[in-house]
Chain A
Amino acid sequence: MRLLPCALLGLTSLASAAADANLTHDASRNTLPPSTFTPPPHFRNVNLVRNINLEKSYPRETLNVVIENIAAQPQDAYYLAFEPGTLGQIGGLEAKDKKEPERTGFTAEAVEDSSSYYRITFPAPLPPNEQLTLSITYSTLAALTPLPAQINQNDKQYLHHAFSAYAPSAYATAKQKTKLKLPTTDVPDATTLPASLNAEGKEDPQKQGTSYTYGPYGEQAAGALQPASVRYEFTKPLTHSRLLERDIEVSHWGGNLATEERHWLTNRGATLKTPFSRVTYQQSAYYNPPSSALKELRFPLAVGSADAYFIDDIGNVSTSRFRSNLREANLEAKPRYPVFGGWSYSFKVGWNGDLGNYLRRVKGGAGESYVLKVPFLEGPKQAEGIEYERVVTRVVLPEGATNVHYETTIPLVSATTGLHRTFLDTRGRTTLTLTAVNVVDDWREERAALVVTYNLPVGARFRKPLALCAGALALFAVSWVVGNVDVRIGRASKGLVGGRKAA
């Protein structure tokens, strides 16, 4: 009963997904206007430490920078520069006051008429000659490339990451350092920079275990770049999700919260040099070496989740295991085939949960006002991480829900409300569709909680059974009318049952 609409949904969403994916690609990467914007030189970076964490399949950068207002007026916006062409790949940018992490009110947004700046707005303007320590974190999607681009099935995979030893900045920087955190000590190549550049006269990079440090460097002008790159071993899949569609359906009648995720994954890792060999693959299954193929996806679900399913274009995928007990609920799903570099896999997973854990009646409300708290993003939890190019989360509220408000910490690119028609609906259910781009999997669960409030009047609550009831009653009325129509031929005579004796 569930499969047919699911399949149809899958087909239609596949079509729309393709269209959407093109759209984002065009909008965010190819058609950005040329940079005409230059930030005013109101700040000076007194000290800057840039940490590039390469332990996962996407670089995660943390920039700790002491900034000083060198303008005559108080300033409330700091412009963060990126290397040209990377702005469309930046995701999850957050800024904080390093010294007072609980201070809120920092906002970050891409500058519209530029191709390489983010604007960070402070909660209060910074007076002249005052300093502020900013801690800025973000991830860059699709930034790592396998080198060599083709490997054998059991080979180690090496990734190449190009960066600038001087942090890109819109302002002059007095002192700075770039630190790399690598996953292994197997680093065949790292750009060596001459000691003359270094402020302490050391040759870069300085190695200490898996961390490589470039710098410290002395005074640099705004926009100074020093290209550098590193190549390191990373024999894990580079899982890239082109699109993730999440449906969260609230059912008051069933007391259920149904979640479904439709994934379109690609492994961005090194492609196979020779055609896939099943024998080699089967042999490696016994000693389980690290592999650049995506072999398993683990979904840690909320405790109490039930009825999990794992379906792809062909049908149910039987290589999955769902374990649920009082402490945890885990869905371990093995794709139908190992996803090697350059290969794609699309599938959907879904599960049910008790609505009582996610929905509360609003205290002080009229008894028909509800508050729902669900994760914006769940998805698999992989040691090497997953990057999502586009996440579309749709919250399907009960039919007739009004006054919908939402709140979430994740930066969104669009939010719309609409109607979704499905089983036993007369008017359609109120849906809230939220889209985010360039998301990585550390936004899973609690960090990106989505809170939705809505009203559900009593009339709307009983809409479904009463509509069915009215339909049935109409049928009874019709049957009474039709059953009592006199269809006998000839003149009707009273008192005769069946009318056989008439005429």
Chain B
Amino acid sequence: MSAAPLHDIWDASASQPFQPTIGKNTQLTLGFTLLCTAVLLTGLFGLNNSLKNLPLYGIPASLAFGFGAVYMICAVGVYV
């Protein structure tokens, strides 16, 4: 058991409840939009598979995929 009285920490922090960046109701919309963007950018990259397009389309596409996948899996009920 920890030495600090943790109940007091809980009471003292009453004014700061945890606020998720994205609420449960918008997760599906956001996740879907981001995944669509990722697919779209992947398609654009595929049309012209060049080194110049790698940062131009590849980086935004992978960012959109990363965050989109996290929000999508939360939206379908597997809260990660």
Contact = CB atoms under 8 A, between A and B. Distances in A.
Contact of A254 (B15, B45, B49, B80): B80
Interface string A356-391: 111111111000001101000000000000000000
Interface string B30-71: 000000001000100110011100100011011101110111
Contacts of A258: 79
Nearest to B4: A405
Interface in A303-325: 307
Interface string A443-460: 000000101110000000
B62 A252 contact: no
A363 B10 contact: no
Contacts of A406: 1-2, 6
Nearest to B80: A424
Contact of B73 (A355, A371, A408, A424): A424
A195 interface: no
A123 to B, nearest CB: 16
Contacts of B74: 251, 253-254, 256
Interface residues of B, number: 47
Which label, helix, strand, loop or mixed, suits the secondary structure of the A interface? mixed
A465 B20 contact: no
Nearest to B7: A451
Contacts, number: 153
A480 interface: yes
Contact of A361 (B18, B22, B54): B18
A356 B7 contact: no
A324 B56 CA distance: 48
A261 interface: no
Given A254-B24, A357-B17, A469 B65 contact: yes
A373 B80 contact: no
B21 to A, nearest CB: 8
Interface stretch (A70-78, A229-237, A470-478): A470-478
Given A407-B6, A453-B6, A251 B16 contact: no
B24 A256 contact: yes
Contact of B62 (A253, A407, A408, A476): A476
Nearest to B67: A465
Nearest to A467: B66
A366 B23 CA distance: 23
B13 A371 contact: yes
A117 B73 CA distance: 53
Contacts of A479: 45-46, 49
B80 A362 contact: no
Contact of B45 (A253, A423, A464, A476): A476
A464 B66 CA distance: 8
A307 B2 CA distance: 34
Contact of B66 (A408, A451, A472): A472
A131 interface: no
B78 A466 contact: no
A255 B23 contact: yes
Contacts of A451: 6-7, 9-10
Interface of B: 1-2, 4-7, 9-10, 12-20, 22-24, 27, 38, 42, 45-46, 49-51, 54, 58-59, 61-63, 65-67, 69-71, 73-74, 76-80
Given A469-B62, A470-B66, A471-B62, 6 more contacts: A256-B74, A356-B20, A360-B16, A407-B5, A423-B73, A465-B63
Which 8 A-B residue pairings sit nearest by Cβ, starting from the closest? Answer: A255-B20, A469-B66, A472-B62, A405-B2, A254-B74, A254-B79, A251-B79, A476-B58
Interface of A: 1-2, 249, 251-256, 258, 307, 352, 354-364, 370-371, 373, 405-408, 422-425, 449, 451-453, 464-473, 475-477, 479-480, 483-484
21 contacts: A251-B74, A253-B70, A255-B22, A352-B77, A359-B17, A360-B10, A360-B16, A361-B17, A362-B13, A363-B15, A406-B1, A407-B5, A408-B1, A423-B78, A464-B70, A468-B65, A468-B66, A469-B62, A473-B59, A473-B62, A480-B58
